[in-house]
A and B are shown apart, each in its own frame.
Chain A
Amino acid sequence: MELAQLKEAVIAGDMARTKSLTEEALEAGIEPASILNDALISGMDKVGELFKVNEIYVPEVLLAAKSMQNAMGVLKPRLVDSGIQPRGKIVVGTVRGDLHDIGKNLVAMMLEGAGFEIIDLGNDVPAEKFVEAAVENDAGVIGMSALLTTTMHVMKETVEMLGEKGLSDKVKTMIGGAPVTASFASEIGAAGYGDDAATAVDLAKEFLEG
């Protein structure tokens, strides 16, 4: 059993094979953390890279992410047994008035793939709901997605609300979506901007692990 094969299966988006190879790897006595990091996560990393340069498109990424999720179903109980903690909690959602959720879902899947615990609020999420969910779940990051120029202001509202509640240091905001830019992020005081899902993972690592 080679972890390289499992990694390839993730990249290829082969759901059945990803799951069966994960089971085989566990049976072969490979450490759950190693299966996660060296095959599943590193496979998703590669997928993120390929997507960035348009070698693959949304369908391939979705299939890879689903394969990863399939494997996680098998792996999660074993990870918990071996005492591995998730890397930290992240609240994600598409902002109020916006129903575009494909990009947000990709970001959530990649973050999950990287080992973070995701609280996905779905789409059409108002500022107060982002803030509430972060407080309730003790999440260190809020990731917001907007695809409409007309809904980007909700990101500003969320950042401001965190400020008013004195939570700006405790809860970092990262934002993204096609019309969103790095300059908009700095203008509204968001902690980070990412133009793709791989960057979302980098930002989350930076915010939660320093």
Chain B
Amino acid sequence: MSMDLLELVNSRPILGDGAMGSILQERGFKSGDCPEAWNLDRPEAILEIHQAYRDAGCDYVETNTFGASTIKLARYGLDAKVDEIVAAGVDLARRAAGDTCLVGASIGPTGALLEPYGDHTRDQLAEAFGRAATVLEREGVDFYLIETMSDLNEAALAIAAVKEVSKKPVAATMSFTKGAKGHRTMMGTSPQEAGIELIKAGADLVGTNCCSGPEAAAEIITEMAQSTPLAVIAQPNAGLPELKDGRASYPESPEAMAEGAGNLLACGARVIGGCCGTTPAHMASMGSVIKGR
């Protein structure tokens, strides 16, 4: 693909990638395993998932590197393998993307809390993000997607780490839950505040992901748009999972997600993808609405 993410967003609405984590479950992944380790142990499975999303019409696939920071990998005793895991993640996404779609570098939270709330320093987080970003950039991604963030400070450190090694576009999304005061991140940040601060930190596009569904995403995007015109990314879950016969199942059908995507477009979203529970079928269905316009 010859256009970069920002040019593409300016030219037409974009169909983002679908879920990785929840799909892995269907291929024998067990809760408690390390998803990113599959880049080395089960590369064919990761490649097939990327290919399925490409074939569903996604305009980008995201590297399976969401938790590939030294801090998060250390929880599985895999921190020493970080470079290998990240490099393999880029290679698999690139092989699937070919010239058909873009490769977005996924960077998720470290899972650690910053001082004074938790026991990690800003330097520790900056170093972990810097390490991943360096390998992502070296291996050649098209843009960065810093996602599922709860803490603005952590998101800003991730953005800064990317900016330090790359000139490529950076998108940043946060995860909100609706409570008595409306949508807030776990740390209490509102969509409006998130929009302002993420742009200040250097993000080119902002939005939300991993929210309870397309309706919640539409509310969040609408609120965020009050503080910035760059609030355009929505990657909602296919609803919140319910336990059926001991298995997690996500309630929203491909058709319901397509309808939700239409509503998101009307709210000003320009990059609409899927988070937990979405499948290639969901993405294809959403694509017919998003690209049909």
Contact = CB atoms under 8 A, between A and B. Distances in A.
A148 B187 contact: no
Interface in A28-59: 53-54, 56-59
- Give the dominant DSSP class at B's interface: loop
A150 B31 contact: yes
Interface stretch (A95-103, A111-119, A167-175): A95-103
Contact of B188 (A53, A58, A148, A152): A58
B268 interface: no
B186 A66 contact: no
Interface string A125-168: 00000000000000000000000111111000000000000000
Given A63-B117, A149-B248, A150-B248, A57 B32 contact: no
Interface string A1-40: 0000000000000010000000000000000000000000
Contacts of A207: none
A66 B246 CA distance: 37
A120 interface: no
Given A98-B32, A124-B32, A149 B243 contact: yes
A126 to B, nearest CB: 9
Contact of B240 (A98, A99, A150, A179): A179
Contacts of B113: 62, 102
Contact of B241 (A59, A62, A96, A179): A179
Q: For B32, B179, B246, which residue has the most chain A Cβ atoms within 10 angstroms?
A: B32
Contacts of A63: 116-117
A9 to B, nearest CB: 15
B118 A62 contact: yes
Interface residues of A, number: 25
A153 B184 contact: no
Nearest to B181: A54
A98 B118 CA distance: 19
Contact of A57 (B30, B187, B240, B247): B187
Contacts of B248: 148-150
Nearest to B248: A149
Nearest to B182: A54
B246 A59 contact: no
A97 B29 CA distance: 11
A149 B187 CA distance: 22
A124 B32 CA distance: 7
B111 interface: yes
B242 interface: yes
Q: For A54, A97, A124, A148, which residue has the most chain B Cβ atoms within 10 angstroms?
A: A54
Contacts of A66: 116
A143 to B, nearest CB: 20
Contacts of A150: 25, 31, 241, 247-248
Given A57-B184, A57-B187, A149-B242, A62 B32 contact: no
B180 interface: yes
Given A57-B186, A179-B241, 8 more contacts: A54-B184, A56-B188, A59-B187, A60-B188, A63-B117, A66-B116, A97-B31, A150-B247
29 contacts: A15-B116, A53-B180, A54-B181, A54-B184, A57-B184, A57-B186, A58-B186, A59-B187, A59-B188, A60-B188, A62-B113, A63-B116, A63-B117, A96-B32, A97-B30, A98-B32, A99-B111, A102-B186, A148-B248, A149-B241, A149-B242, A149-B248, A150-B25, A150-B248, A151-B32, A152-B243, A153-B246, A179-B243, A184-B243
Interface of A: 15, 53-54, 56-60, 62-63, 66, 96-99, 102, 124, 148-153, 179, 184
The 3 closest A-B pairs by CB, nearest first: A57-B188, A97-B32, A97-B31
